Amino acid sequence: MAKIAKEVSRTFNEYLLIPGLTTKLNTPDNVNLQAPLVRYHIGDKPRITLNIPFVSAIMQSVSDSKLAIALAKEGGLSFIYGSQPIENQAKMVLEVKKYKAGFVESRANLTPGHTLKDVLELKERTGFSTVGVTEDGMPSGKLLGMVTSRDYRVSRDSEDKKVKDFMTPFENLIIAKDGISLSEANDIIWEHKLNTLPIVDEKQNLRYFVFRKDYDNHIENPNELSDTKKQLIVGAGINTRDYRERIPALIEAGVDVLCIDSSDGFSEWQRETIMFVRENYGTSVLVGAGNIVDKDGFLYLAEAGADFIKVGVGGGSICITREQKGIGRGQATALIDVTEARNEYLKKTGEYIPICSDGGIVQDYHMALALAMGADFLMMGRYFARFDESPTRKLLVGGNYVKEYWGEGSNRARNWQRYDMGGNSQMKFEEGVDSYVPYAGKLKDNLGQTLAKIKSTMCSCGVSTLKELQSEAKITLVSSTSIIEGGVHDVIVKDVDK
């Protein structure tokens, strides 16, 4: 008969954190949520450190360039989904890397031959009131002038009036050259009392706009995750089929870290993919692997050279792998087992390999539990799919606003590569569902509340860093009756809507 694991497969819902001594230093302002993203030798620093321990899932319904920009501005990281053509994924990566905090590519452009009617239609369609007037009407064309709402009066000017007749011509613009720092650009804006500063290259081609209003936005994002060039950091998912073509394209686009996207990471295909990276790029390219649920799976990927390892099979809110195949493990038990293996590996080799907990999060407090159990950071799909910045449609269903959310193993995604077991290149059965999640609004607003909860929990545990949480926090199993006790009971809850 098969080997029977002695441990019961448990979920986060079966555990609670026990309060520790909260000192006067244990305040939310003093909590540091930084976490290593990739492996490093003890005594060295990891090449990428997250400012918050969150990454978004490698899913069509979650991680595109828009969400990647929003999350990086808050200190986390997105892995652009790989279940799309290589050139499309590379383009999304490039969009994130070309974005600069405060440096905005012109998204409203016309030529001098266009009319005021075109300006008004463009403003109505895009919402942008600043228009770059370029030679060819392209965002990176030769800058000939600029139009703002101060350059025309709808009540007096004819809609047939040519842009060239009312734009501010290039020679009258205050501009800056590409390569200027954001601080220097803001100094020019304030010195000359500008609302907009065009940035051009040596050939007078438009590169960016810097807006006065974005100065405040920059101040509001102190945790922004960026590289030495002040570009946002972004990841991308890859599979074990077309990695020989996909990886070079993503590297050329400027990707910072890769992750093999698979429901079963304990496989020779993952090892071969990692070996391709090492043989062709050495350690200059970072690549995570997974998913696995036990010590054997961790050691296999660690020895193959994975820079971080994802834990979790079948615990996602839209995943039905356990139902379809009977494969998986309770997320809490899997995480505890893999953390012990990681710590043994650290003692043996002196190398620390970060663990990513992927799946099993139902309540916000489960995030703190996962981090206390040894996860360095969390990968989440449903959590991020709810926000304005996710790529799916916002719909009104049953009187409530929702956003679409589907699994990579669903017929809608048809990401057969994620579930590839060799053989024919096709999807034989679903391992994910198509669903809705309650619409929640902007990422920034919701993320701030979630992080506040985690920080408060850490203060109650008497710790101020994630490493302290892992080494000093106390965790207890809970009974079914204590779970009931922990919720609202023995009262009649008021209906505030009546």
Catalytic residue numbers, as ranges: 319, 418
What tokens were used for 303? 């020895």
- What's the rounded Cα separation, in Å, for the pair 362 and 382? 9
The residue type found at 77 is L
- What's the rounded Cα separation, in Å, for the pair 79 and 67? 10
Residue 452 sits at the vertex; the CA angle it makes with 446 and 454, to the nearest 5 degrees, is 110
For the sheet with 196-200, list strands across it. 176-177, 196-200, 206-211
Residue with tokens 């090492």: 278
- What's the rounded Cα separation, in Å, for the pair 298 and 291? 9
Residue 442: DSSP 8-state: -
Question: Who contacts 273 (Cβ-Cβ below 8 Å, separation ≥6)?
Answer: 238, 240, 243, 260, 287, 289
- What's the rounded Cα separation, in Å, for the pair 490 and 253? 58
Which sign, positive or negative, has the C-alpha torsion 356, 247, 93, 439?
negative
| Phi, psi (degrees; rounded to nearest 5) at 474 | -115, 135
- What's the rounded Cα separation, in Å, for the pair 457 and 163? 58
CB 391 within 8 A of CB 405: no
Closest by CA position to 322, among listed 337, 310, 311, 312? 312
- What's the rounded Cα separation, in Å, for the pair 25 and 6? 41
- What's the rounded Cα separation, in Å, for the pair 368 and 108? 43
CB 241 within 8 A of CB 273: no
- What's the rounded Cα separation, in Å, for the pair 147 and 109? 9
What tokens were used for 265? 């990471």
- What's the rounded Cα separation, in Å, for the pair 4 and 25? 46
Mapped onto helix, strand or coil, the DSSP state of residue 84 is coil
- Cα–Cα separations (whole angstroms), residue 258 to 37, 77, 252, 279, 475: 11, 11, 13, 16, 33
Which sign, positive or negative, has the C-alpha torsion 486, 490, 491, 495?
positive
CB 297 within 8 A of CB 329: no
The DSSP element (H or E) to which 378 belongs, if any, is: strand 377-380
